[in-house]
Structure 1
Amino acid sequence: MPADKSYSKTSDYRRATKPLMEKRRRARINQCLNELKTLVLDALHEDPSRHSKLEKADILDMSVRYLQNIQRQQVAAAIATDPAVFNKFKAGFNECAAEVRRYVSQIEIDYNLRQRLLSHLGNTIARLATPTTACTC
């Protein structure tokens, strides 16, 4: 019987503390989201008073888009400054374009759509032939 009492006390303790732990976890998430909102709005030079009631999903979406933009800028800078990075990028793009061409030629697809896609890939590859051209793929 004493084992049942200790189990009961442990169970009661967990039952009592679980809501408090969950409340603390939610508070920590909300605090981090508010900090993230402030950081992203500052980085985007946005007026925080205009964005006082952003939903959590909006904050996360803005953050993801901001980080993707930074990542694109870093890749573009690396491509522009380092010929080896540019050559690797160009080789990878050419390989990917060739794979798209192979795939598109094997499936049923509208002729005009196929031509537009292949034309776009060809034009982009031609632009990549000159290293000074920034890629807007």
Structure 2
Amino acid sequence: MRRDRINSSIEQLRVLLEKEFDKHQPHSKLEKADILEMTVRYLRQQRQHQTKNTLFIQKNLQDYDHGFSTCLQETVSFLAAHKLGKETQVKMLNHFRRVGNAIHSLKTAVPQQPPPSCQSMRSQTTQSSSKQLWRPW
């Protein structure tokens, strides 16, 4: 029964990643070790890709935040220099505050850490499928 479970899981991996396997070794019979190795390689590539995307988004948000801060400073200087009405100054500053809060909310929504590790994904998978697994012990 243990071997059947192992073989079934390896077959499920092969089916899930069939397109990826065909890119590297089309029309070849894969051994179990090949399927496991290619699965590990694929998961590492996916994690690396997600990490790069997260870093890219964080950098763009930092650049935007810096530009927004510079624009806000320029606007405050302009308002002070041109003596616009108090009501106009307050409206503009409130507008910038609302936009700044929206940016802050967006920044906190982006993960500051790399994507979840395989460990956390494994625990999620185990929790969701633990009801389906039969264990003889």
TM-score higher than 0.5 here?
no
Structure with the larger RCO, 1 or 2 (CA within 8 Å, 6+ apart):
2
TM-score range (shorter-chain normalised) is 0.3 to 0.5
